[in-house]
Structure 1
Amino acid sequence: MKSRLLHRLNPFLDIAKTGWENRDQLGYAWRILNKGVCDGCALGTNGMRDWTMDGIHLCWIRLNLLRLNTMPAFDTTILRDISALRQQSEKELRKLGRIPAPLLRLAGQPGFTPVKWEKAYELMADNIRQIDPERLAFYLVSRGTVNETYYVAQKVARFLGTNHIDNSARVCHAPSTTALKQTIGYAATTCSYKDMIGSDLIVFFGSNPANNQPVVMKYLHYAKKKGTKIICVNTFKEPGMQKYFVPSAIDSALFGTEIADDYFVIKPGGDIAFINGVLKHLIENDWVSHRFIEENTGSWDALVRLLKNQTFEELEMLSGVSTYEMLRFARKYAAVSSSIFVWSMGITMHKHGVENVKSIVNLALSRGMVGKPKSGLMAIRGHSGVQGGAEVGAVPNQFPGGFSVNPEEARRFATFWGFKVPEKRGYFAAEMLDAAHDGKLDFLYCIGSNLFGILPD
């Protein structure tokens, strides 16, 4: 009883906590919420409104990150010796406050010393001038990074003579980009959040939007009101996907919204086996859309032959899901006229991430759930600046607009920009660290990133 009460009160306690944390800057905090953009998503908010849904736009990520905007600067004397700070977590370090000035640490020194901006620019410029462009690299994180920052960073990198630039958005959904390009011809989601409201079925694979994309939960709240059924396929029953409290919807904030109607718990890495089992049931029961397959797809017969060579016993062992459960999923899917398939890091962050995404595409195409309203494929992203990074060329293999890095395109951009542009692909993020380890990198410029956290190896 006590646990249920706390669960219900948590949304209001979080709002109260946000107010308390920002009590020294309440006026400024309100201006940020009322007139600023959202730190948690990329919906182009204008204060507490966005351009995709009526009502208030407010999510837990925005509230949790509000203090980063209102907190005062810390006293730089605490950085004279950073040995004690090494024991603190990222969260504890953030609570110290905002960085008030450029900080410099020379080899052998125990900590950082504040310097003037002119000095910082001079030091960086002097060092960059002496470094071979092939030994320079740039890395950006997506949350809170606007398109203009991405664009300037990639243009500066190329002006300096290197294509060694990457960002976290490409790291997260590179398998989605590759798989979608190779299967449907377009490396992009085929539907929008609005399509969720009114869809018969939404399936989440390896995704927990309650934690990572909370703005989605408001769409799911309204989708449930329209009668949408939601299925989660994951290795764990995420509590937030069972019941969620949407802070900007009064009824949900008070009583919560029941999200998932069904859960299929699979083994880690068992997604392809599970989906193949579902496809076998769809084919054997003639629940596929033959006309759509014939008119809009290729290699269907090859897929059917592949599935015939896989036994349900093998698929059960690989997926951790029984044949009956695969059939139960297939029946639910076969009974609807529209469906949206959503996936995230639980699908892409595997050695076989591309194949994972392709299997989801196969499932959608088998019943013609691409290219029509309230249906589609949705590679869901988590941060507020993810899409822009690739669009404006902050990646090592593409120029702005998605043009491939090659001699012909490099010459075209050189004419446009007025300086020589490097012609060969640069380092991806992991390759940057490998290059540094091998002594091939002298300069790494990071914007908003903690590489020790995301690439600990």
Structure 2
Amino acid sequence: SDVIESDLIVIWGANPANNQPVFMKYLYEARCRGARVVVINPYLEPGLERYWVPSSAESAMFGTRMCDLHVPVRPGGDVAFADAALKRLIERGGVDPKFIDEHTENWDQLVAHLESLPMADLLADAGLTEQQLDAFVDEYERADAAILLWSMGITQHRHAGEGVRGIVNLALAKGNVGRNGAGLMPLRGHSGVQGGAEMGAYASALPGGLEPNDVNAALLAERWGFDVPAHAGLTAAEVPEAAERGELDFLWMSGGNFLDVLPDPLRVEAAMERIPLRVHQDIVVSSQMLVPGDDVILLPVHTRYEQEGGGTETTTERRIVFSPEIPRQLGEARSEWRVFADVAARVRPDLGAKFTWSDNQALRQEIARVVPLYAGIETLAETGDQVQWGGRHLCADGVFPTESGRGAFSVNNLPSLELAEGEFTVATRRGKQFNSMILGEVDPMTGAVRDSIYIDAADAAAAGFGEGDRVTLRSDTGSYTGQLKFARLPGRSLQVHWPEGNVLIPAGPQHREGPSKVPDYNAVVTIAPAIAD
């Protein structure tokens, strides 16, 4: 409802037309109510320029113009652009001084920092002109309520934290938080990511998103009756590195496919071969299951819609939505949670009674007890039943979940974006795909095939290439051969499809964002004619 009620939706480093198509229905409804849409991205995705919404007869037939302004920021230039936009907004007096004074902190430090940055340098780093900057600030300044939305185009950089904080700075400066039609909206990928994270299904969190420390671990241990680790685990990117060092004897993977999703897949494959025992639990056979090993066990499991007692998913807007069970049995497949419970009971028979849930309803009751945010999940039983944790708005009335109760402005370091002569920045794009498992051979939005290499026509001409020419990209990690496809891109930037292009992406701690440890899915490459086979 906030998207529909907004005056301005800023889509930053995201391609919902391909990756979150359901969102486009709500963007269409917002457009019908008069909302403006700004897209900040190196490439203006065709689906964000014009989209055919199937639920609207008019749009399905004629299409709907979705974008009012495209800001073609260069890859990695988002931090500089966010700083430039806020600097210009301050110069114009376009911020909300009352909200800043009553509900935020660190404003003076940020203003002093921005004053020290020459606008010409910020624009050069962003790859934009002053006119392009002013066009965006015009849109943002006059909008009473704006939503700033971002996805992997922001988060999959070494400086991802700075990028997100730059967006947050812009929202706080105009009080676009915690009220109707306004807010900060990270777009997630898989429909199970949000709820999984909130249950603690990542390396640096316990259920409820609690920090893994002695206090929180003790609280869970008291509730469950067994010791709970008080330290962070390995992230997905760190697992192959640990295997490479010979530190893993056993790997149990529930879903996922390291071979397709992580940088430098050849290195990942070699690392996985070193793990003596691997268990892969999934609904489909994936390429990583075929990597040789001493012992590899495959466990077929139900989809979440086939689980006994139905299942839930948590949407981007924090709605916990119930889906009833689809009663069917395929071969030996079992519900994933039942596999975990049975193994746990056999490993620790003294605790077997703690893993005797009868169905998913019993698990939802357990979640409601352990994760207070999810209170109400135990009441969900019919199609469409849902609860929204935190209410309609987080940070309502300008009250933030911080020690001071205020939202904090951040001073961000600008990343180095220098390229040597003949070098390009290459970014990986998701193209037509579903949940990272089903990949289309042709992207219906762009007409590109799997091995297309997107390049601006001016860059291609300067390098002596034409559209359709086969070329090879080389990075310090690997090489990739494909055919050139012309696209409107900032100078010296390329795009290739993921996961094929992951062979170019370097791995290792120095190529990840610091706190989150998310890999940087961009690389520096050179381009040369492909050598005929």
**TM-score, length of structure 2 as denominator length:** 0.49
Does structure 1 retain, via aligned residues, the 8 Å contact 2:76–2:157?
yes
Question: Percent identity at matched positions?
Answer: 47
Paired residue total: 264
1:32-80: CA deviations, max 9, x gaps? xxxxxxxxxxxxxxxxxxxxxxxxxxxxxxxxxxxxxxxxxxxxxxxxx
Q: Write the mapping of 1:395-414 to structure 2, written as runs, cut at 5 A.
A: 395-414=202-221
Measure the CA separation in 2 of the matches of 1:198 and 1:333: 16
Matched with 2:94 is 287
1:366-404: CA deviations, max 9, x gaps? 111112110010011121101111111212222211222
Q: Write the mapping of 1:107-256 to structure 2, written as runs, cut at 5 A.
A: 194-256=1-63
One-letter amino acid of the counterpart of residue 267, structure 1: R
1:267-310: CA deviations, max 9, x gaps? 10001111211111111111111111111111111111111111
Among 252, 266, 269, which residue is 2:73 paired with? 266
Among 244, 250, 264, which residue is 1:443 paired with? 250
Q: Write the mapping of 1:342-361 to structure 2, written as runs, cut at 5 A.
A: 342-361=149-168
Does structure 1 retain, via aligned residues, the 8 Å contact 2:69–2:136?
no
Measure the CA separation in 1 of the matches of 2:144 and 2:220: 46
Measure the CA separation in 2 of the matches of 1:407 and 1:329: 47
Matched with 2:143 is 336
Measure the CA separation in 2 of the matches of 1:344 and 1:437: 30
Among 188, 213, 221, which residue is 1:381 paired with? 188
Does structure 1 retain, via aligned residues, the 8 Å contact 2:150–2:187?
yes
One-letter amino acid of the counterpart of residue 333, structure 1: Y
- For the pair 1:297 / 2:90, whether they are aligned, the reply is no
Deviation at 1:326, TM superposition (A): 1.0
Matched with 1:309 is 116
Does structure 1 retain, via aligned residues, the 8 Å contact 2:84–2:122?
yes
Matched with 2:201 is 394
Deviation at 1:198, TM superposition (A): 2.2
One-letter amino acid of the counterpart of residue 372, structure 1: R
One-letter amino acid of the counterpart of residue 11, structure 2: F
Runs of 4 or more off by more than 3 Å in structure 1?
Answer: none
Gaps in structure 1 of 5+ consecutive residues: 1-193
Secondary structure, aligned partner of 1:236: coil
Measure the CA separation in 2 of the matches of 1:420 and 1:366: 45
1:224-261: CA deviations, max 9, x gaps? 10000000000101001011112222222122111111
One-letter amino acid of the counterpart of residue 180, structure 2: P
Matched with 1:156 is none
Matched with 2:133 is 326
1:312-340: CA deviations, max 9, x gaps? 21012100001221122111111111110
Measure the CA separation in 2 of the matches of 1:351 and 1:237: 23
Secondary structure, aligned partner of 2:105: coil
Considering fraction of residues, name the structure with more strand: 2
**TM-score, length of structure 1 as denominator length:** 0.56
Measure the CA separation in 2 of the matches of 1:273 and 1:439: 41
Gaps in structure 2 of 5+ consecutive residues: 265-533
One-letter amino acid of the counterpart of residue 203, structure 2: P
Secondary structure, aligned partner of 1:378: strand
Two-structure CA RMSD over aligned residues (Å): 1.2
The farther-off stretch of 410-419 and 226-235 is: 410-419
One-letter amino acid of the counterpart of residue 213, structure 2: N
Measure the CA separation in 2 of the matches of 1:333 and 1:391: 32
